[in-house]
Amino acid sequence: MQTLSGHPQAISLAASLLEQRRLIDVYENLKQEGTLKGLEWPGETLEERKSMSNLTYTLDLSLGHIDNRDKKASQLFLMFGLFPSGLGESSIVSIWGNEDWRTRLYVLLNASLLVKREATATSGARYSLLPFMAEYALKMLKEQKEEYEKYHKKSL
């Protein structure tokens, strides 16, 4: 936990990696990438920089792990970056298609990369990214111009 600066989401992301990796391997990955150096952002304390750097790296590590196992699941994660308020199941189908989206959705939920808001009396379940993850996903998606354009057109 100290390596992750006690950031709850970084801990949650790292914990989900333990299903497929040994603790020592996750710890070594965190140490070798220099996450403890932090990023230099004006006005932030060293502890805040360490925390954000660790969170970003843990997110990179988690998404990389998902991408190695199921590239479509990581693409679904990136697609959610276009929808910061989340999507219901019918919207997911209309944008993503019927291409085994449920399995990929559960991969993201199990990795703590997606949040499910339960159905209410007036609406069905909604799935979304936490705000910092939505920004991260959108940035990554924009780097993949063709994918960005494909999902963006379908979202209009």
Per residue in 22-38, pLDDT (tens digit) is: 666 666 666 655 443 43
Cβ contact 114:128 at 8 Å: yes
Instruction: Check residue 15 and give its pLDDT.
Output: 60
Q: What is the C-alpha to C-alpha distance for residues 7 and 145, in angstroms, rounded to an integer?
A: 32
Instruction: Check residue 131 and give its pLDDT.
Output: 85
Does pTM top 0.75 for this prediction?
A: no
Sequence-ordered list of residues with C-beta below 8 angstroms from that of 22, at least 6 positions apart, any chain: none
Task: Give the confidence band of 65 by pLDDT, cuts at 50, 70, 90.
Answer: confident
Average pLDDT over residues 101-122: 89
Higher pLDDT, 143 or 46: 143
Sequence-ordered list of residues with C-beta below 8 angstroms from that of 150, at least 6 positions apart, any chain: none
Residue count of the chain, please give it.
156
Least confident of 29-33, 99-103, 113-117, 147-151: 29-33
Measured over the CA atoms of residue 15, residue 148, residue 130 and residue 97, the dihedral's sign is negative
Task: Give the confidence band of 39 by pLDDT, cuts at 50, 70, 90.
Answer: very low
Q: How far is CA 69 from CA 43, 73, 97, in A?
A: 39, 9, 21
